[in-house]
A and B are shown apart, each in its own frame.
Chain A
Amino acid sequence: MATKHAVEGLFAETANGPRLLGSRCATCSAPYFPKSPVCHNPECTESKIEDAEFGPTGKLWGFTFQVFPPPPPAKFDEPFKPYPMGFIDLDEGLRVLGQVTTDDMTKVAVDMPLELVIEHLYHDEDGNDVVTWKFKPAA
């Protein structure tokens, strides 16, 4: 059984560790995730899009818990296990959505430091390990 990405091209295990794959405008430094072919900032004078990596560290802006099985197109392993998720402000100026990995949901708190990881999301019908980006409490 192989490891597969939930969606290709959004994240990678680089030589420096896990990173989100996006882009940034060299003129106005607006961040984009996923990648954007052009800069959408109306104040920007010239769109100069370059590939950019985001992560691994940031902090939790706000959070909630998914307590029931989410409807399609979400996918998860049975039986469903609740998980925390939220908006994470990465140090590079990107606000990104993601799950937070923790076995103790009472420890999840606004402003907690987090670190990007690539972890299991669900097993597909062929038994492959499908992974996505998540955030774990930073040491």
Chain B
Amino acid sequence: MREVAAVGLGMHPWGKFEDKSVTELCRHAVEAALADAGAQWRDIEAVAAASSRFSGGKGWGLNGNDVVEDMGSTGVPVYNMSAGCSAGANAFNIGHMLVSSGAHDMVLVVGGEKMPKGFIQTSGVEEHTDPEFLRQRCIGMPGPAFWAVLSRRRMHDHGTTEEQMAKVAVKARKNGALNPNARYRKETNVEEVLKSALVVYPLHLFEICAVSDGAAAVVLCSAEKAKQLTTKPVWVGASAVATARFDDGITRGIGGMSPTGITHHSEAAAAVKKAMEGAGVGPKDIDFVELQDNTVYYELAFPEEFGLCEPGQSEWLLENNETIPTGKLPINPSGGFISFGEATTAQGLFQICEVGWQLRGESGERQVPNAKVGMCQTIGLGGNATAVVLKS
């Protein structure tokens, strides 16, 4: 397998853009990534794209085809990847393989999405065989309730307080305020977080990511090509994809096995393990992490489930400012989903761009000092998960 470099990073800021189509958002990100790479559109030999359920793609998730038509139909192969919130990094995984295998020298990975307002309705079908339908009709339990139940259980297991959860949001928004691509750029405080609307106990509005519009793109190429293009390539240590295990502790429908003692997010933990092994690094080598904080709970649970710290240690790290960009374990220096909101299928790529900029030392006031190894991870509907380790 060949070494692969990320030589072009491009992003359209996250937000709500009533007047722009998803194609325009993607074009902005793709043009920025190409310019960053010093490459032309016609240099791109293949495209791997995240399939959006909510915008573009001709209703079939053909979002990569939309991008190619818009940029200019060169006849390149297009791979559209569907994996819920993991789609962006899933497409990255394919793009990486297309270059590492030697099939192509330069590949574009892109994801963009415009989200409808309100809670994400995961299926929308009224069928008695659909677990999403059964959960909502028979129990009256919308999606965010899962995060809430997990959060409340953590309060029981580790003594986590509502103030500590609010502090995660405060830290996230502090980073987001320093990031021109973030949607929420105003700092907040614990009192304001706890006074924001209670969405689903114990989680408040400021502790759950909003739905956003956004797009991000990455140009990948071979080492040989990278050396011609840049003196600061970002190397792909590993890109991993995994799905959930049967004996996962969280039932994904309305009923499942009683807990077996393993992780509650087996797909995420497996992807992270695979990525670290593939990159030849351990938790101690990771200088910072961009993790999927759909809600503040994950910023406390995931570092433990990924082996980045001991169970029950997350609150201590938070309280001692060790998760800020200058701490021992910087988490989401970008501001995370809490500051960006979620353009679901583009999330994995916004993370990869952020990690890349950090490794190039271009993150300004939110820069992690001496960042050499960064990791990002996503978890999506269907038990999909990804993890990527990048190195300077």
Cβ of B262 within 8 Å of any chain A Cβ, yes or no, is no
Q: In the complex the two chains form, is B251's CB within 8 Å of A87's CB?
A: yes
Which residues of chain A come closer than 8 Å to B153, judged between CB atoms?
A: 61-62, 110
Cβ of A66 within 8 Å of any chain B Cβ, yes or no, is yes
* Known contacts A71-B118, A110-B156, A66 near B254 by CB under 8 Å: no
Q: In the complex the two chains form, is A42's CB within 8 Å of B246's CB?
A: yes
Interface residues of A in 27-42 (CB under 8 A from B): 30-34, 40-42
* Known contacts A67-B198, A73-B136, A74-B140, A95 near B246 by CB under 8 Å: no
Q: In the complex the two chains form, is A121's CB within 8 Å of B254's CB?
A: no
Which residues of chain B come closer than 8 Å to A97, judged between CB atoms?
A: 135, 139, 141, 251, 254-255
Please name the residue on chain A nearest to B201 by beta carbon. A65
Cβ of B121 within 8 Å of any chain A Cβ, yes or no, is yes
Q: Which of B156, B199, B247 contacts A62 (CB 8 A)?
A: B156
Cβ of B17 within 8 Å of any chain A Cβ, yes or no, is no
Which residues of chain B come closer than 8 Å to A8, judged between CB atoms?
A: 128
Contact with B along A49-61 (1 / 0, CB 8 A): 0000010000001
Q: How far is the CA of A133 from the CA of B138 in the complex (A)?
A: 8
Q: Which of B134, B139, B257 contacts A99 (CB 8 A)?
A: B139
* Known contacts A7-B128, A76-B140, A62 near B134 by CB under 8 Å: no
Contact with B along A1-34 (1 / 0, CB 8 A): 0000011111000000000101000000011111
* Known contacts A71-B121, A95-B251, A110-B156, A64 near B149 by CB under 8 Å: yes
Interface residues of B in 188-226 (CB under 8 A from A): 198-202
Cβ of B60 within 8 Å of any chain A Cβ, yes or no, is no
Q: Which of A71, A75, A85, A93 contacts B257 (CB 8 A)?
A: A93
Query: DSSP class of B's interface residues: helix, strand, loop or mixed?
Result: mixed
Interface residues of B in 142-172 (CB under 8 A from A): 142, 145, 148-153, 156
Cβ of B133 within 8 Å of any chain A Cβ, yes or no, is yes
CB distance from B205 to the nearest CB of A (A): 11
CB distance from A101 to the nearest CB of B (A): 12
Which residues of chain A come closer than 8 Å to B255, judged between CB atoms?
A: 20, 22, 31-34, 54, 94-97
Q: Which of A30, A32, A61, A83 contacts B140 (CB 8 A)?
A: A83
Please name the residue on chain A nearest to B118 by beta carbon. A71
Q: How far is the CA of A68 from the CA of B126 in the complex (A)?
A: 22
Count, chain B residues at interface, CB 8 A: 38
Q: In the complex the two chains form, is A34's CB within 8 Å of B258's CB?
A: no
Cβ of A98 within 8 Å of any chain B Cβ, yes or no, is yes
Q: In the complex the two chains form, is A63's CB within 8 Å of B149's CB?
A: yes
Which residues of chain B come closer than 8 Å to A121, judged between CB atoms?
A: 138, 140
Q: In the complex the two chains form, is B137's CB within 8 Å of A66's CB?
A: no
Q: How far is the CA of A67 from the CA of B204 in the complex (A)?
A: 11
Which residues of chain A come closer than 8 Å to B118, judged between CB atoms?
A: 71
Which residues of chain B come closer than 8 Å to A86, judged between CB atoms?
A: 149, 152
Count, chain A residues at interface, CB 8 A: 50
CB distance from A128 to the nearest CB of B (A): 15
Q: How far is the CA of A50 from the CA of B256 in the complex (A)?
A: 16
Q: How far is the CA of A71 from the CA of B198 in the complex (A)?
A: 16
Q: How far is the CA of A4 from the CA of B126 in the complex (A)?
A: 17
* Known contacts A42-B246, A65-B201, A87-B149, A70 near B254 by CB under 8 Å: no
Q: How far is the CA of A38 from the CA of B227 in the complex (A)?
A: 54
Which residues of chain B come closer than 8 Å to A93, judged between CB atoms?
A: 257-258
CB distance from A93 to the nearest CB of B (A): 5
Which residues of chain A come closer than 8 Å to B135, judged between CB atoms?
A: 97
Which residues of chain B come closer than 8 Å to A54, judged between CB atoms?
A: 255
Q: In the complex the two chains form, is B142's CB within 8 Å of A73's CB?
A: no
Q: In the complex the two chains form, is A94's CB within 8 Å of B256's CB?
A: yes
Cβ of A89 within 8 Å of any chain B Cβ, yes or no, is yes
CB distance from B243 to the nearest CB of A (A): 11
Which residues of chain A come closer than 8 Å to B137, judged between CB atoms?
A: 6-7, 73-75
Which residues of chain A come closer than 8 Å to B199, judged between CB atoms?
A: 67-68
Which residues of chain A come closer than 8 Å to B247, judged between CB atoms?
A: 41
Please name the residue on chain A nearest to B141 by beta carbon. A85
Cβ of B259 within 8 Å of any chain A Cβ, yes or no, is yes
CB distance from A95 to the nearest CB of B (A): 5
Q: How far is the CA of A68 from the CA of B140 in the complex (A)?
A: 10
Please name the residue on chain A nearest to B144 by beta carbon. A64
Q: How far is the CA of A113 from the CA of B345 in the complex (A)?
A: 41
CB distance from B157 to the nearest CB of A (A): 9
Which residues of chain A come closer than 8 Å to B128, judged between CB atoms?
A: 7-9
Q: Can you report 8 A-B residue pairs in the complex whose CB atoms are below 8 A from each other?
A: A6-B137, A7-B128, A20-B255, A64-B200, A70-B141, A73-B133, A83-B140, A132-B139
| 10 more CB-based (< 8 A) A-B contacts, given A74-B136, A85-B139 | A8-B128, A20-B255, A22-B255, A33-B256, A65-B201, A71-B118, A71-B142, A75-B140, A93-B257, A96-B251
Q: Footprint of A on B, CB under 8 Å?
A: 118-119, 121, 126, 128, 133-142, 145, 148-153, 156, 198-202, 246-247, 251, 253-259
